[in-house]
Amino acid sequence: MTSQIALITGARGGIGRALVQRLKARGVRVAAVGRDAASLTDLQADAAIAADVTTPEGAAAALAATREQLGLPTLLAHLVGSTLIAPAHRTKAAQYAEVMRVNADSAFHMLTVWVDALRAEPEAARGASAVFASSVVARIGVANHEAIAAAKGAVEALVRSAAATYAPQGIRINAVAPGMTETPMTAGLLKMEAMRAGAAAQYPLGGVQQADEVAAVVDWLLSNQAARLTGQVIPVDGGFTQIRPLVKA
């Protein structure tokens, strides 16, 4: 039985790294994509590909390199992302454009080249699965997150529409919306004890979640165990967007 092939963008991030290991453990061949291939070498992926997927050309190059080295990826985890903590009135136009480019534009470009390749091979398309990264700030109002909330909201809308478009071909498209997660991107915030304690207190389940806890849900959505799920956004947030923590006097 031929093993599946997965393309992971943003693979050098905390969640991407954890996902590479999970997929490899269940026999999936993995192409890890990042802007700097040298930073991916310690992942032990089957292919390390340098590409900037925030452009149509970069997304196409990432897919082409994966096909050349491993074959057509029927699994896609698009984990490219950035954040910006600032209110709208203090967000410069260039900052807003950058947040949209990294988060929303990259998702659209990567989705486009991937589904285009699958549509040319209908047998491979049936059962194909993609997962995109949103955020809790797109699902509930959090102060000072207007730009990133808009960008991740666009990702969620893209997922729902694309899921409807490509369901007839058997392609599943979902997203995860993590809460505060221990990753290299959040290290600067979480190194401050007051910030860590404050963040942890907001989550009903308490604490700050680990990257592998998010990767586990991505892995499940990509697998056949989630074969009846498409167009969904799964919050991985310790209950943050749905319930309130019990406040003790």
Please report, in tens digits, the pLDDT of each residue of the chain (249 residues total).
468 999 999 999 999 999 999 999 999 999 999 998 888 888 999 999 999 999 999 999 999 999 999 999 999 999 999 988 899 999 999 999 999 999 999 999 999 999 999 999 999 999 999 999 999 999 999 999 999 999 999 999 999 999 999 999 999 999 999 988 876 666 566 666 777 777 777 888 887 889 999 999 999 999 999 999 999 999 999 998 999 877 776
Contact call for residues 59 and 52 (beta carbons, < 8 A): no
Q: Which tokens in the block code for residue 166? A: 């490509």
Candidates 32, 68, 67, 69; CA nearest to 51 is 32
Helix (H) or strand (E) holding 187: helix 187-190
Separation of CA 46 from chain center: 20
* Predicted TM-score (pTM) of this structure: 0.93
Cα–Cα distance for residue pair 22/17, rounded to 1 Å: 9
Task: Measure the CA dihedral 13/112/232/136, to 10°.
Answer: 40
Cα–Cα distance for residue pair 232/159, rounded to 1 Å: 8
Cα–Cα distance for residue pair 241/246, rounded to 1 Å: 14
Contact call for residues 185 and 13 (beta carbons, < 8 A): yes
